Amino acid sequence: MFASILLLCVCVVFILFQLKSRRPNNFPPGPSPLPILGNILELSLENPLKDFERLRNIYGNVYSLFLGTKAAVVINGMKAMKDAIVTKGIDFAGRPQDLFVNDSTERKGVILADYGPSWKVHRRFALMTLRDFGLGKNSMEERIHGEIKYIIDDLEKSIGKSCSPQLMFHNAASNIICQVLFGQRYEYEDEFIKVIVKCFTDNAKLANGPWAMLYDSFPMIRSLPLPFRQAFKNVKKGDDTSSFSEDLMIMYTLDLHFAGTDTTSNTLLTGFLYLMTYPHIQERCQQEIDNVLGGKDQASFDDRHNMPYVQAMIHEIQRVANTVPLSVPHCTIKDTELMGYSIPKGTLIIPNLTSVLNEEGQWKFPNEFNPENFLNDQGEFVKPEAFMPFSAGPRMCLGEGLARMELFLILVTLLRKFNFIWPEDAGKPDYTPVYGVTLTPKPYHMNVQLRQTK
């Protein structure tokens, strides 16, 4: 009897050993994986960013993890990040095609499509279409200013009482991209746009949340009726698979709408959270805005060249907002090498942008909100190489130009007209964001006052 039990135990240990994931030769180091589970227990399913930093301190800027049995390489720090997504950008330009975000969108759209000839054509089409629809032109400035008027109307109604800006900024950003994509805007109380914004917000939380991580790590649970199924319901499509099908155009529209809404609105929410709680920075920005604009009716995007401190403030907001902390997952399209390690074709790559935006040695004040991070000793605006909130290389964000214009015009116009004040009864501000594909500030309230401008 004892011999049978011993033999059974030996067999179980042998099977588990066989199931244990093994690193290829010269693969980046990392924690030892468990059979079947891999390193899933090393990570917080709610928010793994601190765990990624902890593992970086142990294993270096390039290390590996196993999500279930799937090998992943996490890239940290400016040197390794630049080497991977810029210098060897093509090698790392693929998209893994077996993750939750891909399955929920049926691998359609320009953001998650795998690298190849079709993706190049479609990305070029998206860039040309955005340009033809006004991106980078005066007509785009007018669209943004047109939407700002509705923001101002909303804020003027809130004078004398505290208001929650979350929905207002999400709807405003959504309306700007809606005008580009559909040629129309929606009232902030419109039920259709409320549903669209909610679907995007919910999917952003799901896509980097605990259920998505379990979905990616353990394929055997994917057909079960678990919470991640909601994302599939939020994205409804037909099944045409031709290169420029109507179905694909719908997904491209959803891609651009999501990319042009969630990131911009969350950056604005982060910005006003910090401007309220750093009133001396808000006041210095207002002084510069008043001096530069003088009697002009409205700001233009070109005015940024005469506003170094405002430019520095906006870029610092983007840095601390860290809106897309892990970028979008990459995948190697060929066997390649990174920082002396061998990375096989098809390896999941996780670019930890947080590690670059907070890296010691790249910033004067890496762990605090301070526009001086973007000013030289002469007070001139400078943009360090480590500033990459839109990622970099071939997969750089399509909407960078629109986002930069929106952030500048909205922040400058609102700071010119209003003072934003942290409510006295709101307690101590909490800068800890809610984790997801995009980081979102926790809901807060603001007090608004009209400025007495000269």
User: How many domains, in total, are found in the chain?
Assistant: 1
The pLDDT of residue 191: 80
Predicted local confidence at residue 267, as pLDDT = 95
2 inside domain: no
pLDDT band at residue 368, thresholds of 50, 70 and 90?
very high
The predicted pLDDT at position 19 comes to 42
407 SS3 class: helix
Domain annotation covers residue 146: yes
Pick from 206, 203, 235, 437: nearest CA to 329 = 437
φ/ψ (deg, to 5) at 349: -115, 130
Q: Which has the closest alpha carbon to 454: 256, 276, 233, 295?
A: 295
For residue 269, name the pLDDT band (cuts at 50, 70, 90): very high
Mean pLDDT is lowest, of 85-89, 185-189, 211-215, 393-397, for 211-215
Q: What is the pLDDT of residue 6?
A: 44
Tokens, residue 345 = 């074709």
Say if residue 114 is exposed, middle or buried (CB neighbours under 10 Å; 0-12, 13-18, 19+): middle
pLDDT at 172 over 80: yes
Given this model, what pLDDT does residue 285 score?
Answer: 98
Q: How far apart are CA 397 and CA 260, in angstroms?
A: 10
Give percent of the chain with pLDDT exceeding 70: 75
Report the pLDDT value the prediction gives residue 38, as an integer from 0 to 100: 94
Residue 261: CB atoms within 10 A of its CB come to 28
Q: Is residue 404 predicted with pLDDT exceeding 50?
A: yes
Residue 152 lies in a domain: yes
Q: What is the mean pLDDT of residues 179-208?
A: 71
The span from the first CA to the last CA of the chain, in angstroms, equals 94
Instruction: Assign 345 to helix, strand or coil.
Output: coil
Predicted pLDDT at 216: 58
* Position 413 in a domain: yes
Question: Is the CB of residue 27 less than 8 Å from the CB of residue 71?
Answer: yes
* Rounded distance between C-alpha atoms, residue 15 and residue 336, angstroms: 32
| CATH at residue 95 | 1.10.630.10
For the packed helices 400-417 and 308-321, what is the interaxial angle rounded to 10 degrees? 120
Rounded to an integer, what distance in angstroms lies between the CA atom of residue 105 and that of residue 232? Answer: 7
Q: What is the mean pLDDT of residues 19-40?
A: 87
Say yes or no to pLDDT of 4 above 50.
no
List, for residues 94-122, the tens digit of each pLDDT value.
Answer: 888 766 555 555 555 666 677 777 777 77
pLDDT tier, 210 (very low <50, low <70, confident <90, very high otherwise): low
pLDDT band at 261 (very low <50, low <70, confident <90, very high): confident
Taking the C-alpha atoms of residue 191 and residue 197, their distance in angstroms, rounded to an integer, is 10
Q: What is the number of helices (H) and of strands (E) in the chain?
A: 15, 10
H-only helix segments in 2-136: 2-19, 49-59, 78-82, 100-104, 117-132
Look at 42-51, 61-70, 112-121, 420-429 and tell me which has the smallest mean pLDDT.
Answer: 112-121
Coil/strand/helix, residue 139? helix
Spatial separation of the C-alpha atoms in residues 147 and 413, rounded to whole Å: 11
pLDDT at 9 over 70: no
Which of these, 194, 329, 328, 179, lies nearest to 253 by C-alpha position? 179
Give the DSSP H or E segment for 332: none
CA-based nearest residue to 273, from 411, 436, 172: 411
Retrieve residue 288's tokens: 């510069």
Q: How far is CA 408 from CA 211, 305, 442, in A?
A: 36, 11, 23
Residue 294 counted as domain residue: yes
Average pLDDT over residues 236-259: 57
In a domain, 412, yes or no: yes
pLDDT at 320 over 50: yes
Residue with the larger pLDDT of the pair 398 and 255 = 398
Answer whether 329's CB lies under 8 Å from 348's CB. Answer: yes
| Letter string b/e over residues 387-397, b meaning 16 or more CB atoms within 10 A of that residue's CB | bbbbbbbbbeb
- Residue 17: per-residue pLDDT: 42
Percentage of the chain exceeding pLDDT 90: 52
pLDDT at residue 71, as a whole number: 94
pLDDT band at 293 (very low <50, low <70, confident <90, very high): very high
Average pLDDT, rounded, for the chain: 82
Of 360, 280, 290, which is closest to residue 313 (Cα–Cα)?
Answer: 280
Rounded distance between C-alpha atoms, residue 241 and residue 386, angstroms: 39
Which pLDDT does position 391 carry in this prediction? 87
Over range 400-423, report the average pLDDT.
Answer: 94
| Predicted local confidence at residue 361, as pLDDT | 94
Q: Which domain holds residue 196?
A: 18-450
**How much is the average pLDDT of 290-306?**
95
